[in-house]
Structures are given as C-alpha cells and as structure tokens.
C-alpha cells in the first residue's frame, strides 16, 4: 500500500502539470481544480482508513528510494500519528479553498494560473508532512515559497508586492538557517533518515553541537510558526493575501514550522532542546501576550486575525517547550485546531471583505448581525472557538499546553514554567478580550446605511476627516453616511464598493466550504480522543519512554 503516499503527491502535481495544456476553458478550470483536490482528499482519507491506529507510533506506508546518492538524499516518505492528521487537514483545507474559489473568484483574474499555483502549493505542503529525509523535508519546505509568493503578489490586496517580497525573503532566510542546522546534524550523524535519527535520541552528537544545531533549526522553524520576534512578515502577508491564500497560509504553512519542531528539532536533538527549552518557552509566552495585545489595538480585521495566529502559535510553542508528552500532544492538537478555526476565521473575514469592500473595522461600522445574520453568527462561532471555549477544538490545545507547563520535563526549572503557565493563563483572558471587543465593534451596534454612490471621497485624507483621525470614533456618534469610499489607488483586488442596501448573505458555495470546518471544530472539541489517541503513542515513542507521567 506504500504507493498511496506517492499517489497523494503525484495527483496534485499531475493536475498542475496538465493544467498548462491550452485546452482549458475559464469555467472548467475551477471545476478542474475542485476535481483534482477532491481526488487528493479522497486519497488522504484512504490513507487515514488504511492507517493502523493500534500502532500509531510506528512509521507506516513507507516508500524509500534513493534519489541523489551524491547527497545521499533518499525519496523517503512515511506517515505516523503525528503527520497523519496534518496531511488530512492539508488535503481538506485545499479542497475547501477550491470549493470557495469556484463561487468567489479573486480580483486578479487569471484563474488558471491561480489553480496551477495552488496545486503546486498543495504538493509542497503534503510533501513536507510526508518527508522522512531531512533534505527532502527541506526541499518540500521550500517548494511552498514561490507559489505562495505569486499567490500574494498577483492576487493580493493593495500593497501586495511589498508584503510578498517581505514574506519570501524572511522565510527564505529562515529556511537557509534551517538548512545549516540540518547539515550540522548530517555531518555529525552521517545519516539524513529521520526515523533512524529519532531512534538514536541524539546519540553521537555532542551536547554543544546539539545546542548549535537546535538553535539553527529552531530559528528556521520559528520564522515559519511565527515565534515572537520573527513574526513581522505574517500580518502583512495575511492582510494582502487573497482569502484562499490567507486560509492556506494560516491553516497549513504555519503548521509546517511547528511540525518541524515535533519531527526534527525535539526528537533528534534532545539535549539541545533541553538546553534551549526555557528560551523557547519564554519567547512563546511573550508571543502569546504580544499577539493578544497587538490584536486589541488593530483596526484591520484580517490583520487582527493574523496577530491572533501569533498568539495561538505561542501556545503551540509553549507546548513544545515543556518537552513533556502532554505538552507535545497539546502542541499537535493545537496545530490542528488552529488550522481549522483560523481557516474558518479567514474564510469569513474574506467574505466580509468581499461584501463590504473593506476589512477596516471602523469603516465596517457595526450591526453585521442585523444585515448579514448568518455571516455574523458564523464569525461569532469562529471567534468563540478561537478564544478556547471548552466543547470546541481550541480549548484542548491551550488547556493541555498549560497542563504541560504546570509540570515540565525533569531537567527544566519548575518555577519558571509556572510563571509561563500563569502568563499563558492571562494570555487566554486577553485572547477572549480582543475577540469579544472585535465582535462588539463589528457584529453588534446599529448598522450604518450605505448610501448608493455618493460623492466619491477623492483621497484617503478626506476619509480620515470624515471618520475622525486616529482613535476609532464610534460610527454611531458620527452618523455619517459612508459614501462610495475608495482609497486613492484603485484597489485592483476587485474590492467592489458595497452595493446599495441589501448585501447578499452567505452563499451556497461559501457554506459548502465553511460547514466542514465548523463540524470538525465541534467534533474535536467534544471528542478530543479522536486526535489524542492518534498523537499519544507517537509522542511516547519520541520521548523514548513507555508511559512516563510527564
């Protein structure tokens, strides 16, 4: 059955390749996209079905060919308890993105090129989670860069080019440093095979070298899961990316970084991890507080959601920093939960931006629950799930991370991690604060009547005058009718000005893309065993101890 993983990669690649044939009509392209991604999703489900859940710790369905003996790089794929959920999540999110794309083509046009880019993106993402060879992981880790650059640069928002350049340069610097770390591991151990290296638990690498290697690999991965100081590319990339881009960026690309910690950094360099765990924990916790505070003062909805990702991934990194089975379980669960919930958030935010023509909370005014009741309630559901309400997926990731921080691994200083736990707790309160404040600014209050095309405010300065500078003035107080407000440059992102009167509420296409995410969030919230039973044995194997009360 090992050809399954190969097929999982081959189908999207073939789909992308055959797309270059000129015989495609515009309409057929989006259907074609759905077909290919649906096929990939079916394959992913088959892999999940064939997977032997009793022995989730062992690497299954392995294919292992020699690709470049010179670099002794082997085309070694496999899946286990840690990577299976991520693969299925990637396939699902890609499919939902294509479904959403069919109903709501992005502004930049050129749908065929977009479908091609997204399929290549999907190959890169799935490849990263399947690769079991350090260099192969690195290759797939980088395959994602160019497609995501073009998704942001061509179909993005107003100043998309700068955001795309910052994204690709920042991430490339990260992955270059990651490569150095991987090469240090390779020179020390002589092998690139992750399964072998995990089994060795860092034997054969001196402690100081492990620290250097963990630092290099850690920085590379930290850029991708935005750890606090290295996160500034994320808000720009998210704000400018089209809806589909944001969903995949937040839903999957961030997970590749944290997956790297679970698969490479911690299992292969245990002593390095033990030495640097306090720093990782500290930066993670700072990330939580920093992200939450930054969200509290944001004006742009998508930018706020981007910063919320910094906060949530802070919890994931805290889970890793505790170096305990429960911490690792928490991080992996948090990964999946964040993927689902933030994916949904970005879908809804994209829908709002498409309807209102803007994502600026002040110009959205309020009263969305009155004008768009279904979209408003979906936004509320997503925010509540994201702030970690028990019974929804977001809760278990954060709670187990705090549980892990309550009693970290033996070598780590307990009072320090208790401080992290306390600060993390405060972080959850701040997370609740900024989500609810956003909800009360956007969904509550009285809706502003958008007057049909009035005097177009020429420059953004006049908009500032109308809305009042700086401090977001309560829209009700001004009571100004927002004319057909367009910033100076025409926004090629097809941000259609809000149509007069009735805005269309959620469409069938959107519902088809969003309901699976809602269902899965509830499922994993009510029944966390579905995921924990999967990652549990794999995590035990990593920490090399049978039971271990953690």
Q: Which is nearer to another protein, 41 or 543 (by Cβ)?
A: 543
| Cβ distance to another protein smaller for residue 330 or 482 | 330
CB of 301 to another protein, least distance (A): 15
CB of 176 to another protein, least distance (A): 4
Burial of 282 (0-12, 13-18, 19+ CB in 10 A): middle
Min dist CB 127 to another protein, Å, is 10
Name which of 95 and 355 has its Cβ closer to another protein. Answer: 355
C-beta closer to another protein: residue 455 or 470: 470
Least separation in angstroms between residue 78's CB and another protein is: 21
d(CA 540, CA 550): 10
* Element housing 77 (H / E): strand 73-79
Nearer CB in complex with another protein: 115/483 = 115
User: Which is closer to another protein, CB of 84 or CB of 405?
Assistant: 405
173: which residues sit within 8 A by CB, 6+ positions away?
A: 223
Minimum CB separation from another protein for residue 363, in Å? 17
Q: Which is nearer to another protein, 142 or 462 (CB)?
A: 142
- Distance between CA atoms of 28 and 223, rounded to whole angstroms? 38
Which tokens sit at 60? Answer: 């299954």
Which residues lie closer than 8 Å to 130 by C-beta, 6 or more apart? Answer: 5, 8, 9, 77, 78, 79, 83, 87, 140
Minimum CB distance to another protein smaller for 34 or for 146: 146
User: Rounded to the nearest whole angstrom, what is the least distance from the CB of residue 473 to another protein in the complex?
Assistant: 13
Question: Token pair 């070694």 is at which residue?
Answer: 76
The DSSP-derived string for 2-71 is THHHHHHHHHHHHHHHHHTSTT--HHHHHHHHHHHHHHHHHHHHHHHHHS-GGGTTS-EEEEEEEEEGGG
Quote the Cα angle for 279-284-288, to 5°: 150
Backbone CA torsion sign across 384, 386, 392, 396: negative
Q: Cα 442 to chain center, whole Å? A: 24
Are the beta carbons of 401 and 266 closer than 8 angstroms? no
Q: Which is nearer to another protein, 311 or 498 (CB)?
A: 311
Residue 227: count of CB within 10 angstroms of its CB: 24
**Least Å from the CB of residue 394 to another protein:** 11
Nearer residue to another protein within complex by CB, 169 or 453: 169
Contact in structure between 200 and 270 (CB atoms under 8 Å): no
| Least gap, CB of 154 to another protein (angstroms) | 7
When the beta carbons of 272 and 497 are compared against another protein, the nearer one is 272
In the complex, minimum distance from the CB of residue 395 to another protein, in angstroms, rounded to a whole number = 8
Q: Residues 408, 418: contact at Cβ < 8 Å?
A: no
Closest approach, Cβ 374 to another protein, in A, equals 7
First to last CA, the chain: 35
Whole-angstrom distance, CA of residue 122 vs CA of residue 131: 14
If the CB atoms of residues 77 and 164 are measured against another protein, the closer one turns out to be 164
Min dist CB 45 to another protein, Å, is 24
Q: Minimum CB separation from another protein for residue 60, in Å?
A: 20
344's tokens: 């949904």
| Contacts of residue 228, Cβ cutoff 8 Å, sequence gap at least 6 | 283, 284, 286, 287, 290, 291, 310, 314
What's the Cα-to-Cα distance from 256 to each of 230, 252, 426, 483, rounded to whole Å?
A: 16, 7, 27, 43
Q: Which is nearer to another protein, 6 or 436 (CB)?
A: 436
Task: Copy the structure tokens of residue 477.
Answer: 């107080």
Distance CA 532, CA 440 (A): 35
Whether the Cβ atoms of residue 403 and residue 328 lie closer than 8 Å to each other: no
Give the nearest distance from C-beta 457 to another protein in angstroms: 25
């Amino acid at each position: 059955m090992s050809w399954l993983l190969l097929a999982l990669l081959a189908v999207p690649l073939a789909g992308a390749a055959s797309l270059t044939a000129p015989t495609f009509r515009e309409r057929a392209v989006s259907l074609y996209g759905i077909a290919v991604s649906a096929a990939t999703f079916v394959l992913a489900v088959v892999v999940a079905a064939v997977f032997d859940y009793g022995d989730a710790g062992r690497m299954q369905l392995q294919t292992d060919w020699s690709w470049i003996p010179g670099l002794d790089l082997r085309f070694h794929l496999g899946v286990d308890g840690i990577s299976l959920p991520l693969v299925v999540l990637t396939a699902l999110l890609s499919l939902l993105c294509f479904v959403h794309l069919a109903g709501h083509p992005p502004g930049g046009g050129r749908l065929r090129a977009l479908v091609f880019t997204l399929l290549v993106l999907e190959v890169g993402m799935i490849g990263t989670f399947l690769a079991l060879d350090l260099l192969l992981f690195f290759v797939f880790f980088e395959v994602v860069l160019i497609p995501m650059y073009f998704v942001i640069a061509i179909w993005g928002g107003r100043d998309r080019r700068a955001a795309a350049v910052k994204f690709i340069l920042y991430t490339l610097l990260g992955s270059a440093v990651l490569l150095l770390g991987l090469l240090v591991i390779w020179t020390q151990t002589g092998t690139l095979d992750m399964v072998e290296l995990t089994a060795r638990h860092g034997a054969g690498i001196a402690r100081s070298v492990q620290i250097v290697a963990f630092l290099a690999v850690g920085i590379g991965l930290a850029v991708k899961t935005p750890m606090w100081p290295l996160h500034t590319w994320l808000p720009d990339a998210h704000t400018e990316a089209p809806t589909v881009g944001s969903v995949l960026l937040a839903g999957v690309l961030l997970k590749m970084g944290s997956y790297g910690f679970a698969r490479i950094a911690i299992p292969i360099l245990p002593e390095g991890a033990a030495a640097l765990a306090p720093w990782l924990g500290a930066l993670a916790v700072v990330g939580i507080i920093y992200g939450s505070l930054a969200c509290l003062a944001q004006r742009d909805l998508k930018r706020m959601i981007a910063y919320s990702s910094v906060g949530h991934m802070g919890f994931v990194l805290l889970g890793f920093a505790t170096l305990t089975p429960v911490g690792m379980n928490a991080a992996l669960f948090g990964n999946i939960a964040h993927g689902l919930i933030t994916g949904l958030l970005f879908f809804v935010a994209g829908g709002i931006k498409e309807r209102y023509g803007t994502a600026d909370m002040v110009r959205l005014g309020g009263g969305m629950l009155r004008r768009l009741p279904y979209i408003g309630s979906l936004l509320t559901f997503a925010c509540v799930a994201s702030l970690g309400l028990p019974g929804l997926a977001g809760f278990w990731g954060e709670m187990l991370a705090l549980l892990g921080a309550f009693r970290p691994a033996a070598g780590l200083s307990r009072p320090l991690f208790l401080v992290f736990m306390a600060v993390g707790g405060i972080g959850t309160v701040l997370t609740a604060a900024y989500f609810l404040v956003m909800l009360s600014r956007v969904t509550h209050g009285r809706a502003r009547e958008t007057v049909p095309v009035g005097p177009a405010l020429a420059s953004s300065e006049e908009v500032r005058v109308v809305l009042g500078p700086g401090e977001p003035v309560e829209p009700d107080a001004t009571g100004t009718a927002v004319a057909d407000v367009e910033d100076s440059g025409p926004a090629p992102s097809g941000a259609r000005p809000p149509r007069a009167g009735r805005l269309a509420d959620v469409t069938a296409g959107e519902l088809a893309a969003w309901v699976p995410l809602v269902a899965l969030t509830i499922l994993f919230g009510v029944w966390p065993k579905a995921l924990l039973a999967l990652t549990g044995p794999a995590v035990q194997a990593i920490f090399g101890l049978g039971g271990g009360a953690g």
